[in-house]
Amino acid sequence: MRTMDLRLRPRTALAAAVVLIAAALLAAAVPAAWSARGLTVKGSDTMVILGQRWAELYMTSHPGAIIQVTGGGSGTGIAALINGTTDICQSSRPMKEDEKRKLRDRFQTMGIEIPVAKDGLSIYLHESNPVKELTIAQARDIYTGAVTNWKQVGGGDVLITLYGRENSSGTYVYFKDNVLLGRDYSARVQTLPGTAAVVNAVARDPNGIGFGGAAYAKGVRDCAIRKEAASAPVLPMPQTVQDGSYPITRYLYFYTRVRPSGDLKKFVDWVLSADGQAVVTKVGYFPVR
Amino acid sequence: MKVDARHAAGAARRGPRGRTPVPAGILVPIARSFVPGAIALLTCVLAIPARAQSEPPAAEGAAAAPRIEELNGRVESMTEQMQTLQADTDKLKRLKLSGYIQARWETAENKNDSVKVEKSPAVITPANTERFSIRRGRLKLTYDSSPLSQAVVYLDGSTSGSAITMRLLEAYVTLLDPWTFDRRHQLTVGQMNVPFGYEIERSSSVRELPERSRAENILFPGERDRGIKLVSLWTPRLETVIALFNGGGINDPNFPTTDPTRGKDYLARARWSEGVFDAAVSWYGGRALTALTGPDVSTDRTRFGADVQVYYALPVVGGGSLKGELYRGRNLNVDSVKTLVASPTTANPVTLLKPGAVGAHLATEVLGWYAMWVQNLGERFQLAARWESFDPNTDLARDQFERASLAIHWFYDGYTRFTVAYDVPRTEVAAAAGSGFTDPTDNLWTVQLQHKF
């Protein structure tokens, strides 16, 4: 085995050492300077109100704490987590494998997943729609375009107007994966920028159908869902979501790059505390603890 | 108490029970288009109650009806225009534009103020190694035509080669299978990365050291080739790749666009991923051709590869990883070609094997490997160190290349990183008889600013 002669000349070695030591010192000093800007929370539109309520209450009870909350969709939040522009990503779906790989490429970590609330995904109908319930298969057929007329599922003889979310939305991905079983949305789906926009559209359109967080259903009617044709129809109520009898339920997550520490840990711990979980209930979701 | 101003305002207007959210971003341009309409609408709405106060209820209803009808018409019209805009926006969203720029300054120990003049007519080569350059200027266009197909065109402009040109780096079409839930099989045809090994497939925009290992540079120059590949994800952990390529890559000086051998080179790769532990093996087989005056010489071009990555996280400090990769195989050896093939001269303008030389000896057994350590220091710094070795002919002593590389990155924001790297290569060069070998003084500093978009 040969020995290595690095031929590192004294001046070069000194310069290299100076640069690396300076860099290491900066590495130690700069994060503290950056932390002064506070915590940033970004991601799911479904969770943006929840995040804001948490931030407001936390900052009230922890003077000096600064938390900035923005939406944009789960995909946007995960991208921000990967490129380092947010401390916490709020997501209404789990991270995908390729997203975990991108995070690993930059930060050498797989990310930390923290379920912070539970949500029922409601299917909204217009108040006047005679259809009261659908099976998951019928909902799938409607959103994939196999069923286009309300008559085919027990309603009037009118075309169904489909409302949905943009593909950066975690709700879009969750609905596609769990209700459409990965199939593509019908090209007739009108995509809207937020759950409340979907609710508003359905509230105005007697032939409309939409989907989104159960907490948002105002001015529209929740559709009862049957898991199978023979199953009993279940409405997205607090009890049915929490006990799992409502078939379209999901967790809402916080994602961080590494295991939370310092201010980040304090905030996450508070969110999971009784005070934080009380906010979940007030906003209309369901606590995980 | 501080909440982001945009969303604090939004929070006041919306709520979970159906209060309207701010349709940020997307509706902004739409809103601009409809400002005049909105003003007219507002004027009409304000006008209605003003008139209602001065008229009796029956007359009020009769007067308001046509106005309401007109407003409904306007709303319908705006809705139609929004739907048209949305359709256009949806089409634009299928086109993704991405890329990165690496602006670099390099200085090596062997810098000087001279140039090299060779051959007749004279070819002047700058010998100085201190310079600013654009190492990579990449632009990638991806069009997701449908959920089942995708096209990519990837261009590169740099000043590192012999010319300043924009060249086609990749151009391919990918078909995604319609049978599986999450499109687990993807067929790609065109010019693409050769999917052999870990570092080949990693974008230079995320790699922790400015350049790939010497073994990879020699065995897969340019990293790309033209052919077809099938990538299959059998489980979330197991991925396989099978592929056929021309074999020469895109930088072959003699056959840049053609394949001189009838048979195609083939590749197989299997990767197992456990999240914090990834491992893969690769196999590549094919033939390389050396064009001579008279019968050409065809030699083996085989490579076996194995790579492994282990990830960990240190409290407070951040994530880190240990990575290693091995290359083994048989490759056309440039030095063997120089030794065994007689170059054409004015008196004898032919390229032939020297008397007694064996064509098969143009290829030699090669062995290369590297081991690397990467450590994130907080959120904005990253340290990387690599030790590598490449032996272009395992039967020959004193021809090894070894290099120690060190780099530190500062991530200015989510898109920009600043890199300082130092390479200490040890190149064994045959010296005068009796003195063994020499190592040129060629240690290299690289300072680079990269922006990725």
Query: Can you tell me the distance from the alpha carbon of B181 to that of B175, in angstroms, rounded to the nearest whole number?
Result: 15
HSE, side-chain direction, 13 A CA sphere, residue A17? 7
Chain segment B86-107, per-residue pLDDT in tens: 778 878 888 999 999 999 999 8
Q: Would you place residue B54 in the very low, low, confident or very high pLDDT band (cuts 50, 70, 90)? A: low
DSSP string across B127-167: ----EEEEEEEEEEEEEEEETTEEEEEEEEEESSSSS-EEE
Dihedral of alpha carbons A207, A215, A50, A180, sign: negative
Which residues in chain A come in under a pLDDT of 70?
Answer: 1-37
Token readout for A106 is: 């930059």
> Confidence band (pLDDT; 50, 70, 90) for B9?
very low
> How many residues are there in chain B?
453
- For A120, A236, A239, A248, A285, the CA distances from A242, given in Å and listed in that order, are 9, 10, 5, 11, 9
d(CA A47, CA A92): 7
Q: Is residue B250 within 8 Å of B239, Cβ to Cβ?
A: no
What local confidence, expressed as pLDDT, does residue B355 receive? 79
Res B32 pLDDT > 60: no
CB contact under 8 A, B7 and A283: no
Residue B348: per-residue pLDDT? 75
Pairwise CA distance, residues B299 & B296, whole Å: 10
Chain B partners of A52 at a C-beta cutoff of 8 Å? Answer: 3, 7-8, 11
pLDDT at res. B51: 47
Are the beta carbons of A108 and B8 separated by less than 8 Å? no
User: Is residue B128 over pLDDT 80?
Assistant: no
State residue B8's pLDDT score: 40
Quick one: pLDDT at residue A16?
Answer: 66
How far apart, in whole angstroms, are the C-alpha atoms of residue B370 and residue B361? 27
By the 8 A CB rule, do A122 and A134 touch?
no
**pLDDT given at position B13:** 39
pLDDT on residue B25: 39
Number of inter-chain CB pairs under 8 A, A vs B? 184
DSSP β-bridge partners for residue B408: B383, B420
Give the confidence band of B14 by pLDDT, cuts at 50, 70, 90: very low
pLDDT at A243: 85
Q: Which residues pair with residue B390 across a beta bridge?
A: B368, B401
Q: B408, B416, B418, B427: best mutation site toward chain A, by most A Cβ within 10 Å?
A: B408
B22: DSSP letter: P
CA-to-CA dists, residue B351 to B119, B260, B346, B420, angstroms: 18, 17, 12, 45
Contact A216 B18 (CB under 8 A): yes
Q: Which of A7, A50, A106 sits opposite B206 (nearest CB)?
A: A106
SS3 state of residue B77: helix
In this complex, is the C-beta atom of B20 within 8 Å of any C-beta atom belonging to chain A? Answer: yes
Is A261's CB within 8 Å of B377's CB? no
Write out pLDDT tens, residues B278-300: 999 999 999 988 888 878 888 99
At residue B120 the predicted structure's pLDDT band, cuts being 50, 70 and 90, is low
Nearest-by-Cβ selection for A104 from B311, B404, B413 = B311
Residue numbers in A near B14 (CB within 8 A): 49, 196
Residue B114 has pLDDT above 60, yes or no: yes
**Contact state of A12 with B147 under an 8 Å Cβ cutoff:** no
Cβ distance of B441 and A190 shorter than 8 Å: no
In eight-state DSSP terms, residue B380 is T
Map residue B69 onto helix, strand or coil.
helix
Q: How far is CA A210 from CA A197, A207, B439, in A?
A: 10, 10, 70
Percent of chain B with pLDDT over 90: 45
Provide the pLDDT for residue B220.
94
* Interface contact B378-A200, CB threshold 8 A: no
> pTM of the full predicted structure?
0.77
Q: Which of A100, A108, A166, A279 to mutate to test the interface with B (most CBs of B within 10 A)?
A: A108
Q: For chain A, say whether B424 makes contact (Cβ under 8 Å).
A: yes
Contact B196, B301 (CB under 8 A): no
Whether the CB-CB separation of B379 and B412 falls below 8 Å is answered with no
Task: Judge whether B175 and B186 are in contact, CB under 8 Å.
Answer: yes
Chain A, 115 to 154: residues with Cβ < 8 Å from chain B are: none
Q: Which residue has the higher pLDDT, B78 or A80?
A: A80
Interface contact B318-A108, CB threshold 8 A: yes
Which residues have C-beta within 8 Å of that of residue B4, sequence separation ≥ 6?
A68, A69, A70
Q: Which of A265, A35, A80, A257 is nearest to B376 (CA)?
A: A257
Shortest CA distance to B129 belongs to which of B429, B423, B370? B423
Q: Is A181 on the interface with B (CB under 8 A)?
A: yes
Interface test with A, best of B6, B13, B17 (most A CBs within 10 A): B17
Distance CA A214, CA A199 (A): 10
Chain A residues with beta carbon closer than 8 angstroms to that of B420 = 19, 23
Judged by CB atoms closer than 8 Å, whether chains meet at A220 and B318 is answered as: no
Segment 164-193 of chain B within 8 Å of chain A by CB: 180-182
Determine contact: A14 vs chain B, CB below 8 A: no
Task: Please give the pLDDT value at position A39.
Answer: 93
Q: Answer yes or no: is pLDDT of B316 > 50.
A: yes
Q: Which residue of B has its CA nearest to A262?
A: B316
Res B45 pLDDT > 70:
no
| Complex ipTM value | 0.73
Distance CA B136, CA B132 (A): 12
pLDDT for residue B243 is more than 90:
yes
- Residue A200 and residue B72: Cα distance in Å, rounded? 17
Q: Which residue has the tokens 């046509």?
A: B66
Sorted by sequence, the CB contacts under 8 Å of residue B420 that are 6+ apart come out as A19, A23, B407, B408, B445, B446, B447
Backbone angles phi, psi at A22, to 5 degrees: -60, -40
**CA distances from residue A39 to A80, A94, B376 in whole angstroms, order as listed:** 13, 22, 20
pLDDT digits (tens, 9 = 90+) for B339-378: 888 877 777 777 777 778 788 888 999 999 999 999 999 8
What's the rounded Cα separation, in Å, for the pair B231 and B183?
10
- Using 50, 70 and 90 to split pLDDT, how confident is the model at B146? confident
Q: Which of B17, B147, B313 sits opposite A109 (nearest CB)?
A: B313
A chain contacts of residue B238, beta-carbon cutoff 8 Å:
none
- SS (HEC) of chain A: CCCCCCCCCHHHHHHHHHHHHHHHHHHHHHHHHHHCCCEEEEECCCCHHHHHHHHHHHHHHCCCCCEEEECCCHHHHHHHHHHCCCCEEEECCCCCHHHHHHHHHHHCCCCEEEEEEEEEEEEEECCCCCCCEEEHHHHHHHHHCCCCEHHHHCCCCCECEEEEECCCCHHHHHHHHHCCCCCCCCCCCEEECCHHHHHHHHHHCCCEEEEEEHHHCCCCEECEEECCCCCCCECCCHHHHHCCCCCCEEEEEEEECCCCCHHHHHHHHHHHCHHHHHHHHHHCCECCC
Contact flag A83-B406 (C-beta cutoff 8 Å) = no
Q: B-contacting residues of A 236-275, CB under 8 Å?
A: 257-259, 261
Give the list of residues 6+ apart from residue B292 with CB closer than 8 angstroms, or none.
B341, B351, B352, B353
User: What pLDDT does residue B142 have?
Assistant: 96
Of all residues in chain A, the percent with pLDDT exceeding 70 is 87
Q: Is B258 exposed, middle or buried (0-12, 13-18, 19+ CB in 10 A)?
A: exposed
Q: Tell me, rounded to whole angstroms, the distance of Cα B419 from its chain centroid.
A: 18
Task: Find chain B residues with C-beta within 8 A of A166's C-beta.
Answer: 26
Contacts of B236 in chain A (CB under 8 A): 97
Mean pLDDT of chain B: 82
Produce one character per residue of A38-51: b if its CB has 16 or more CB atoms within 10 Å, e if not: bbbbbbbbbbbbbb
Question: What are the chain A neighbours of B16 within 8 Å (beta carbons)?
Answer: 49-50, 213, 215-216, 283-284
Instruction: Report whether pLDDT(B52) > 70.
Output: no
Instruction: Say which range, A122-131, B284-293, B306-315, B323-332, has the weakest mean pLDDT.
Output: B284-293
